Amino acid sequence: MIKQTKSGKRKRLNQSIMFWVFRVLSLSVVAVLFIILAFIFIKGFKVLSWDFITQSPTEGMTSGGIYPAIIGTLWLIAGSMVFAFPIGVLAGIYNHEYAAWKPLKVFIRIMTNNLAGVPSIVFGLFGMSLFVNKLGFGDSILAGSLTLGLLALPVVIRTTEESLAAVDNSFRRASLALGATKWQTTSRVVFPIAFPNILTGLILSIGRVSGETAPILFTVAAYFLPKLPSGIFDQVMALPYHLYVLATSGIDVEKSRPIAYGTALVLIMIVLIMNLLANVLRNYFGRKYKVK
Amino acid sequence: MKVIETIDLNVHYKEVHALKNVTMSMNKLSITALMGPSGCGKSTYLRALNRMNDLIEGCKVSGQVLIEGDNAYARDIHVDDLRKKVGMVFQKPNPFPMSIFENVAYGLRVNGVRDKKFIHEQVEKAIHQAALWDEVKDFLKKSAMDLSGGQQQRLCIARALVIEPSVLLMDEPTSALDPISSAKIEELMFDLKKNYTIVIVTHNIQQAARISDNTAFFYIGELIELGTTKEIFTNPKNERTQNYITGRFG
């Protein structure tokens, strides 16, 4: 006969209590995201229209659209990608696959983590003094992209390292045992396997970068500039800064509030679309280089 | 003719003296089995032959490894040239996440072969040699990850054979496989012996008895006894060898 015991009851009670704690906590994280999204959506979707995303702001930013800011943000995303991706991925590869001397490896890792911890306003200040003033790029897409690129760099490096670390060593050994060099092994076997994960990390880092305000404040963002940029030395408007302006220092803050929420909604949508794209690409490449 | 010869081979992993003064040689087109209990140095010895030990941090090798008369550790020998001559098959099947064809073609491609026709011929030949052709000939473009464990291991053998090494090192190649797949690989080794000098590490005493011409018994980093497999299994000279093959320890 199988009997109920007192200690058995107790451990099952403990089990279900802990299970509910975990369940409630993780669901509350999801709830927070949904509340933010719902809030922004309810407040912002009224102003959302085709004109809103294809027209310039008018009447002191109290009506009209946010087209220049969308274009500006897309420029900055593309620009920062161009700088951060190759440098970050190559640095990550170096540090994980090549750096043989352990102290150097650890030093680079600590410095990368420190870089990730630098407040974004400090990046903005640094970008202003180096790119805008010292190198003379002025307030420009180039200066802003470089600054945002620096901000994204540690994330890209760490994602690359972590993705490479997830590649089973047996693949490296198999390749080396066939007379392949380290570079052949890295570029033909290890990198393709790690690529889907690296890509996801890259796109997620874009999500972060596209919402940053502080780094573009002194380096590129224009308060009001209905004209589209004609090159990388032009200033642009950008969504996060535009949102900041509309919410705090517009001509009529009360009147432009709905537009502010609309702007927030567009910004969030861009980030969500990026994340969606990351998943689609990861699944595509993940199938191509399926490990198991 | 001696294809592999080691003279006073010593391997240290940091403070651990993993291999002690091992002097032995393998004749051309023979199968030599290395056996012994875990940690006896047999895998270390195998990896010393194609310098895979170089990848292990803190590993130091002294003494000589001669592959067809050339010192594998000489300064003017490039490790990738050495590994082209001395192929290796690992314990766990580890095909690349690529197509079956590309897995085998990889060895040719990294060694600079561009001629498509030649690559096709060599790949087909290698898959034939690994006794896998009939099972995969219609799916060469399919991912190698979809094959069974035994097929994957034979694919790894084909991958090692395609660059035509003179030596094939096998590190417990059947320990992760079911008995039927293992039997297929053992059968395959008899065919491979016609063209390759094989060194196999095995935990399985019966396997060593079945397939090898010569057997070496290692114990705590030392080569205890080396002889023809028949001698070792019928009339071992050393007491520890006798105890090991009769299952008294190991």
One digit per residue, the tens of pLDDT, for chain A of length 292 reads 888 888 888 999 999 999 999 999 999 999 999 999 999 999 888 888 888 888 777 776 667 778 888 999 999 999 999 999 999 999 999 999 998 888 998 999 999 999 989 999 999 999 999 998 989 888 888 999 999 999 999 999 999 999 999 999 999 999 999 999 999 999 999 999 999 889 888 888 888 888 888 888 888 887 777 778 888 888 888 888 888 888 887 677 777 888 889 999 999 999 888 888 888 888 888 777 666 5
Give B-chain residues touching A177 at CB under 8 angstroms. 50, 52, 83, 87-88, 90, 160
Rounded to whole angstroms, the Cα distance separating A97 from A173 reads 13
Enter the ipTM: 0.92
Q: What are A86-126's pLDDT values in tens digits?
A: 999 999 999 999 988 889 989 999 999 999 899 999 999 99
| Residues A189, B96: C-beta atoms closer than 8 Å | yes
pLDDT above 70 covers a percentage of chain B that reads 100
Integer CA distances (angstroms), A223 to A4, A62, A235, B78, B149, in order: 72, 14, 10, 61, 63
Closest by CA to B104, choosing from B83, B133, B146, is: B133
| Residues B97, A170: C-beta atoms closer than 8 Å | no
End-to-end CA distance of chain B: 33
* B48-77 residues labelled b (16+ CB within 10 A) or e (exposed): bbbbbbeeeeebebebebbbbeeebbeeeb
- Tell the residue number behind the tokens 């690409």, with chain if given: A281
Considering only the beta carbons, identify the residue of B52, B145, B160 that sits closest to A290. Answer: B145
Residue A187: closest CA among chain B residues belongs to which residue? B110
pLDDT beneath 50, residues of chain B: none
Rounded to whole angstroms, the Cα distance separating A260 from A254 reads 10
Considering only the beta carbons, identify the residue of A173, A178, A290 that sits closest to B97. Answer: A290
Rounded to whole angstroms, the Cα distance separating A211 from A241 reads 9
- The pLDDT of residue A292 is 53
Listing DSSP states for B93-112 in one string gives ----SSBHHHHHHHHHHHTT
Chains A, B: CB pairs < 8 Å: 70
Residue B83: closest CA among chain A residues belongs to which residue? A179
Domains and CATH numbers, chain B: 2-245 (3.40.50.300)
Reported pTM: 0.85
- The pLDDT of residue A95 is 92
Task: Please list the alpha-helical segments (H only) found in chain B.
Answer: 42-49, 79-85, 100-110, 116-129, 133-136, 149-161, 179-192, 205-211, 229-234, 239-245
Label the pairing between strands B214-219 and B31-35.
parallel
3-state secondary structure chain A: CCCCCHHHHHHHHHHHHHHHHHHHHHHHHHHHHHHHHHHHHHHHCCCCCHHHHHCCEECCCCEECCHHHHHHHHHHHHHHHHHHHHHHHHHHHHHHHHCCCHHHHHHHHHHHHHHHHCCHHHHHHHHHHHHHHHCCCCCCHHHHHHHHHHHHHHHHHHHHHHHHHCCCHHHHHHHHHCCCCHHHHHHHHHHHHHHHHHHHHHHHHHHHHHCCCHHHHCCCECCCCCCCCCCCCCCECCHHHHHHHHHHHCCCHHHHHHHHHHHHHHHHHHHHHHHHHHHHHHHHHHHHCCCC
Cβ(A274)–Cβ(A282) under 8 Å?
no
